[in-house]
Amino acid sequence: MAYGAAESADQERATRMSVLIGPDGKVIKTYPQPDAATHPAEVLADLG
């Protein structure tokens, strides 16, 4: 719920999403609907 993958603790399962977290523990970027084929390259590009 802290990252927005679930709206409540009663939700049967979390929504598929990805969160890029920096070495300092802060969220750099969220990807609400990552595509398995392109997501790794997208994350590497965002790391930059």
User: Given a cut of 80, is residue 1 above it in pLDDT?
Assistant: no
Among 4, 5, 15, 34, which residue's Cα sits nearest to residue 46?
Answer: 34
Sequence-separated contacts (24+) of 40-47 with Cβ below 8 Å: 43/18, 46/20, 47/20
Q: How far apart are the first and last CA of the chain?
A: 28
Q: Which tens digits make up the pLDDT trace of 9-45?
A: 888 888 888 999 999 999 999 999 999 999 999 999 9
Dihedral angle at the C-alpha atoms of 19, 40, 31, 36, nearest 10 degrees? -120
pLDDT of amino acid 10: 86
Alpha carbons 20 and 35: distance in angstroms, whole number: 15
Which residue do the tokens 């993958």 mark? 5
pLDDT of amino acid 16: 85
pLDDT of amino acid 36: 94
Query: What predicted TM-score, i.e. pTM, was given to this entire model?
Result: 0.72
pLDDT of amino acid 46: 94
Q: Domain boundaries in the chain?
A: 1-48
